[in-house]
Amino acid sequence: MNIILLGPPGAGKGTQARFLVDERGMVQLSTGDMLRAARTSGTEMGNKVAAVMDAGELVTDDIVIGLIREQLETVTSNGFIFDGFPRTLAQADALGDLLSEQGETLDAVIAMEVDDEALVARITARSTCGGCGEVYNDQTKPIPADEKCTNCGASDFKRRADDNEESLKTRLMEYYKKTSPLLGYYYAKGQMHGVNGLGEIESVKADIAAVMDA
């Protein structure tokens, strides 16, 4: 089963994707993570997109479609979770083509609904473990007092360069201008399922499971 997790920055896509990976053995394809990895390893592409990402703007469709193509051509899985992709109508069309080239289908689009105020609060409180990628939040899931990750024990916590109020404004604007039309696009295709992203992590998880197991 292949699904898209759709929603604005901070909606909790990454948190929920991790559950699906751990519990269902799915493979998460996060273009944000791929782009950050390209930056860390200093590839030409990574250097090219760094400033765009930090400003909160979208990188070009060609680049992210290329990243997804590479994964779909090389990785086999009993289910992909697309996280942070597609983000534009052109990317959505490209994903449809790529999946059918591989003989795969898109089975559900799960839209995580949250309000803007919650997003700003979540994102400015967010940090990630440098060892394993576990996400912490000053309010809802603080870093343990001993400053060791509960998942991997590392004590290297990072805040993302684009998790500041200025970049966040741009990210939200990019979302509403370029990504939110995908809600209508997938609704028209009969693939759209909304879940309330403002609930507790466990209840969001249950709502997603209900969609997937229907």
Q: Which does 12 bind (CB under 5 to 8 A by kind): Zn ion, ligand ADP, none?
A: none
* Identity of the residue numbered 84: G
Interacting residue with Zn ion among 118, 152, 161, 183 (CB under 5 A): 152
Q: Distance between CA atoms of 121 and 193, rounded to whole angstroms? A: 25
Q: Which of 151, 156, 177, 196 binds Zn ion (CB under 5 A)?
A: 151
Owner of token pair 């994964």: 71
Residue 122 backbone dihedrals phi, psi, to 5 degrees: -65, -45
Please tell me whether the peptide bond between 181 and the residue prior to it is cis, using omega within 30 degrees of 0: no
Residue 69 or 148 having the CB closest to Zn ion: 148
Q: Residue numbers of the site for ligand ADP (CB under 6 A)?
A: 9, 31-32, 35, 52-53, 56-59, 64, 84-85, 87, 91, 162, 171
- What letter would DSSP give residue 141? B
If the CB atoms of residues 75 and 210 are measured against ligand ADP, the closer one turns out to be 75
**Nearer to ligand ADP (CB atom), residue 171 or residue 193:** 171
d(CA 36, CA 38): 5
Q: Which does 122 bind (CB under 5 to 8 A by kind): Zn ion, ligand ADP, none?
A: none
Give residues 107-136 in contact with Zn ion (rule: CB under 5 A). 129, 131-132, 134
Could you tell me the two tokens for 123?
A: 């994102």
> Quick check: 86 and 65 in contact, CB under 8 A?
no
Q: Least distance (Å) from Zn ion to the CB of residue 43?
A: 25
Shorter beta-carbon distance to Zn ion: residue 121 or 152: 152
